[in-house]
Chains A and B, each alone.
Chain A
Amino acid sequence: MLSLSVLLLLPACASFSPDGGMSVTADIAARHLRKDVVAIRNDEEAEAARAKVDDLLKRTLNADTAVQIALFNNRGLQAAYNELGIAEAQRVQQSLPPNPSISISRLTGAAEIEIERKIAANILALLTLPARAEIATERFHRAQLAAALETLRVASDARKAFYRAVAARQAASLLEQSSAASSTTAELARRMTASGAMNKLDQSRQQLLHTELTTELARARQRATSERERLVRALGVSGKDLAFKLPARLPSLPNRPPSIKTVEDEALKGRVDLKIARSELDSLAKSYGLTKATRFINVLEGDFIDKRKEERTTGEHSHDSGFELTLQVPLFDFGEARAREAEQTYMQAVNRLAQKAVNARSEAREAYRNYRTSYDVAARYQRDVLPLRNTISEELMLRYGAMQIDVFALLTEARQRIAANANAIEALRDFWLASADLQAAVIGGAGASSDSSSNTTAMAGTSEPAGH
């Protein structure tokens, strides 16, 4: 009976959590994305998600609603949540004690009958139960983080796909204007050839320019279609939902870029993939029974650096800062009894974590630099290039009024202004992509599609001299 009571004293059996392990993901999504996530496990949940998606799709999308739709709707993400469910099931299973066996033996001798009743338990299994349960729990936590990571990746992809789709569409509509301008030029040239004011050479040039712009427009429209399809995949929509509405233009540039001073620090603290790696390390330590820490290695070192550079000629100054960072990993004494394999496996995980931490810091720095640079470029377009283009247009219009130039020069300028606007859109798009990448670099979720490099839209009108 004693043994039975021992069994009862074993740690309480793990049970299925009410949220199916989604709390970590939900927490990360709420904290970093300010979005809801749901693992759809039954019809009610499916319907609720459907209703929310329907509601969001009714309105013109923005980056946030696009992310929310993707989080509710992307089936790939739901598959990741299924993985989480599987891990939880295993955790519950691993936390159950081995079933005790009950045996009755009856021994009969010449003089007596001995009946022995015994409840036997698999002692070894019982002894390792806490360790196994802990390992399974650890795996479950990792699955939770993996689900969170996938959530972030889907969110990041959706956000970037949204920006790309809007930018491509905006660029195409700009090219439509440019094409209209060149169409007018070509028609004027045709009429002037008819009136005797233009020769075949110049007319052909104008005609060719229009043809080239028309081709460019077709390409731009194709790009817009492709980008929209990428967004469709990121959102996971189909059927009638494909008619979702996109805004005509990208969100405007923030007045000042949110300064992220501690980007590397945040990356080390917040990166979900680093958390997973640490968790892996812990479970390895446990699985090999490594308990006695002999020393720590510090895999990251750094000083706080705050550097202010001032350019003497331009007066521009830049601000760089770095951080004192430590990521300490315990090293264990690998007893003789432990195989070399254990040591190597553990050290492998240590090195992987160290490398990941180095990468995370570097990626965070790079993403932040890219973010700042793309902000500055976009700001230069918004605050300098476009206003100057407008001034040039206005001044040319005045010159037209003074009979200094003709309508061909106006139309050439129109094409150049449109090209500048197209470049400005690209710069703005790159900024928003860089800002999504920065978020991914700090909290994780940078997927394979994190390329934010822009394909420079070949714009006509920039190389063509004023038409005369």
Chain B
Amino acid sequence: MITRRNLIGTSAVLAGAAAISGRVQAASIPEAVTTTSPAMQPPLAPTSGPAYQPVVTLNGWSLPWRMNGEWKEFHLVAEPVERELAPGMTARLWGYNGQSPGPTLEFVEGDKVRIFVTNKLPEHTTVHWHGFVLPNGMDGVGGLTQPHIKPGKTFVYEFAVRRSGTFMYHPHADEMVQMAMGMMGFIVVHPRDPQERRVDRDFVFLLSSFDIDPGTSLPKVMTMTDFNLWTWNTRVFPGIDSLVVRKGDRVRIRVGNLTMTNHPIHLHGPHFEVTGTDGGWVRESARWPEVTTDIPVGGMRAIEFVADEPGDWAIHCHKSHHTMNAMGHDVKTFIGTPQKDLTAAVRKMFPDYMPMGTEGMAEMGSMEMPMPDNTLPMMTGFGQFGPLEMGGMFSVVKVREGLARDDYNDPGPYKHPPGTVAYEFKGAVPDATRRSGVPANPSNVELSVVKPGPKSHSNH
């Protein structure tokens, strides 16, 4: 009855759409809305169907839908896309509806959803609804539960949403390639009662990883472990949105991991509790306080906290290489190797050469050396006090007083109250003194190592 309003400004029919299954033949296919912007779009408040508190997709958006009778209809298009990972670098990926990750799908507990999936990829695909309990034939495992969706074809998935929680969608056909190419998306199922587990701000992002050589834009799909770009919603710092929060808000952050390694996500400042997994909500009595939660491979976590501490609080993966952009893993360590006196010799062959690494790599964070096309600095970003020397899976939870309810605009750097910033000590610093009684050279260790092999060559 209010379906017209659900079309989100469109009532167009996908021209030339192929005939679809008999159960939906009376219906036209809802328009596949796409976007090419990597910017975060405001939460999509429901205008039909049951009410809910919409989520915010970091650097992303939620897919509009329409009601068709009792069915909530979505249209996903699997297709090649271009995604800006951060200003200065664009990757050629595969995704859904113009972006990677695809748009977030928001359902409500008890919804009957019908999802049209059109394949515009050069190879077949399927969609697996990660975490859902549904009819086996809707599970989206190509070959096992359904025929593959050939290029140019449109398939329909229909199932009832049984419980609220945090879910994902991704292909289950040539999965290795299609996930390495960025095909994935978030699904949030809201409780039927909007007041149940109500939070003020609900952020979602997916962890994904890519191996894109500097100067190129296509991921190397055969890479298994040595990825060089660690992304949240296929964005890297400094391209990842801040998580803007009003002081006093109850905040939920939902993270799904579709990389091939685990990610200990660490939040500075407020302590949080893990309140949900892809298996469901955690009973209140079973929650424990955390500042870091490990997101397992293929797993999801929802964490919640009350933003009672204003400030710019870092949130990042605690694997330190994951807070870097593309780096050369074979670069030698030059710490403690003086190079300045050799600079002239190298400059004869490379006039722009500057020695790096003798005192560590921090200088990289502030240096702006020319780089290959379509390449991001390994560590970058500036804050009010200097270079951040970060990349990859890093963002900031910005807790501020007095924000409007749905205001997600970046409030700028935190204004620290006077006297609350670490400062330089100006007095005299005494030389270090060795504690008496501790041997300078612990030589009497009762341990002997025997090297394997013959004791003496003279025996030969």
A residues touching B (Cβ–Cβ < 8 Å)? 177, 180-181, 183-184, 187-188, 191-192, 194-198, 393, 395, 397-408, 410-411, 414, 417, 468
Contact = CB atoms under 8 A, between A and B. Distances in A.
B377 A402 contact: yes
A187 B342 contact: yes
A195 B335 contact: yes
Contacts of B361: 403
B372 A402 contact: yes
B369 interface: yes
7 contacts: A183-B345, A192-B333, A400-B369, A401-B369, A405-B331, A410-B349, A410-B353
Contacts of B349: 177, 181, 393, 410-411, 414, 417
Interface of B: 214-215, 326-328, 330-339, 342, 345-346, 348-350, 352-353, 355-357, 361, 364, 369-372, 375, 377-378
Contacts of B339: 188, 407
Interface-central residue, B335, B345, B353, by most chain A CB under 10 Å: B345
Contact of A393 (B214, B350, B371, B377): B350
A229 B408 CA distance: 81
B331 A406 contact: yes
B348 to A, nearest CB: 7
B348 A192 contact: no
B334 A192 contact: yes
Given A188-B337, A197-B336, A395-B372, A404 B331 contact: yes
A3 to B, nearest CB: 90
Nearest to B379: A403
Contacts of A191: 337-338
Interface-central residue, A177, A187, A395, A401, by most chain B CB under 10 Å: A401
Nearest to A398: B372
Contact of B333 (A183, A197, A403, A407): A197
A408 B339 CA distance: 12
Given A399-B372, A402-B372, A403-B378, 11 more contacts: A177-B348, A183-B345, A184-B345, A188-B342, A191-B338, A192-B337, A198-B332, A393-B350, A403-B328, A403-B364, A414-B349
B326 A402 contact: yes
A197 B378 CA distance: 21
Nearest to B327: A403
B328 A184 contact: no
Interface-central residue, B214, B338, B355, by most chain A CB under 10 Å: B214
A19 B397 CA distance: 101
A416 to B, nearest CB: 11
A197 B356 contact: no
Contacts of B338: 191
Contact of A397 (B214, B334, B353): B353
A468 B330 contact: yes
Contacts of A401: 352, 369-371
A402 B369 contact: yes
Interface-central residue, B338, B350, B372, by most chain A CB under 10 Å: B350
B328 A406 contact: yes
Nearest to B371: A402
A399 B329 CA distance: 12
Contacts of A183: 345
What 7 A-B pairs come out closest when comparing CB atoms? A401-B369, A195-B336, A404-B328, A414-B349, A402-B371, A406-B331, A398-B372
A180 B352 contact: no
Contacts of B346: 181, 184, 407, 410-411, 414
A157 B293 CA distance: 82
A398 to B, nearest CB: 4
A195 B337 contact: yes
A404 B342 contact: no
Contacts of A397: 350, 352-353, 370
A192 B331 CA distance: 13
Contacts of A395: 215, 372
Contacts of B377: 402
Contacts of A399: 214-215, 328, 371-372
A184 B345 CA distance: 7
B350 A410 contact: yes
A183 B357 CA distance: 20
A4 to B, nearest CB: 89
Contacts of A414: 346, 349-350
Contact of A468 (B332, B352, B355): B332
Given A181-B345, A181-B349, A405 B334 contact: no
A194 B355 CA distance: 18
A214 B278 CA distance: 65
Contacts of B364: 403
B378 A402 contact: yes
B341 to A, nearest CB: 9
Contacts of A398: 214-215, 369-372, 375
Given A183-B345, A192-B334, A197-B333, A404 B327 contact: yes
A406 B327 contact: no
Given A183-B345, A184-B345, A398-B372, A405 B330 contact: yes
A261 B103 CA distance: 70
A174 B365 CA distance: 37
B223 to A, nearest CB: 15
Contact of B332 (A393, A400, A404, A408): A408
Contacts of A405: 328, 330-331
Contacts of A180: 345, 348
A403 B334 contact: no
B334 A402 contact: no
Contact of A404 (B214, B352, B353, B357): B214
A433 B328 CA distance: 46
A407 B353 contact: yes
B7 to A, nearest CB: 46
A464 to B, nearest CB: 15
Nearest to A415: B349
A188 B352 CA distance: 19
Given A197-B337, A397-B350, A403 B331 contact: yes
Contacts of A184: 342, 345-346
A184 B337 CA distance: 13
Nearest to B325: A402
A181 B346 CA distance: 7
Contacts of B333: 192, 195, 197
Contacts of B327: 403-404
A360 to B, nearest CB: 48
A238 to B, nearest CB: 37
A408 B353 CA distance: 12
A15 to B, nearest CB: 68
Contact of A196 (B336, B369, B371): B336
Contacts of B371: 398-399, 401-402
A402 B331 contact: no
Contacts of B335: 195, 197
B378 to A, nearest CB: 5
A414 to B, nearest CB: 4
Nearest to A418: B349
B84 to A, nearest CB: 18
A191 B364 CA distance: 22
A399 B331 CA distance: 11
B350 A402 contact: no
A23 B334 CA distance: 73
A290 B349 CA distance: 74
A177 B345 CA distance: 9
